[in-house]
Amino acid sequence: MEAVIAIAIGVLFGSGVWLILRPRTFQIITGLMLMSYAVNLFIFMMGRVWIDKAPLTLKPGIPSLGEYADPLSQALVLTAIVIGFATTALYLVIMIGARGLTGTDHVDGKEPEA
């Protein structure tokens, strides 16, 4: 499992990095989305791999780590996902605004000279 997850994070992150180095605004927003998946997964995985051990302390007795997954990394990622949506929206509005203002979808607001 660990290897698959690590490779998955690597692939998402690499694709994202490739995209944010591209010149077109839509490529950047796609790249940022892919990178945010990768980073969210990465932070989430800091709590390690747990299967069928959701952090719901329903069983009687004093709960401890090992019986349940790490709730901390999950809580951190949860808000990150929602804020990721908000920043994507912000980027999107700037993207379409810049397209209208500059007449190009190049990230610098002007086409490169030849």
For residues 13-32, which are near other proteins according to CB under 8 A? 13-27, 29-31
Q: Is 43 in the site for other proteins (CB under 8 A)?
A: no
Closest of 17, 75, 14 to residue 43, by C-alpha: 75
- Determine the Cα–Cα distance for residues 36 and 47; give it in Å rounded to an integer: 18
Are the C-beta atoms of 52 and 68 separated by less than 8 Å?
Answer: no
Q: In the complex, what is the shortest distance from the CB of residue 43 to other proteins, in angstroms, rounded to a whole number? A: 11
87-106: contacts with other proteins (CB under 8 A): 87-90, 92-97, 99-101, 103, 105
Q: Is 111 in the site for other proteins (CB under 8 A)?
A: no
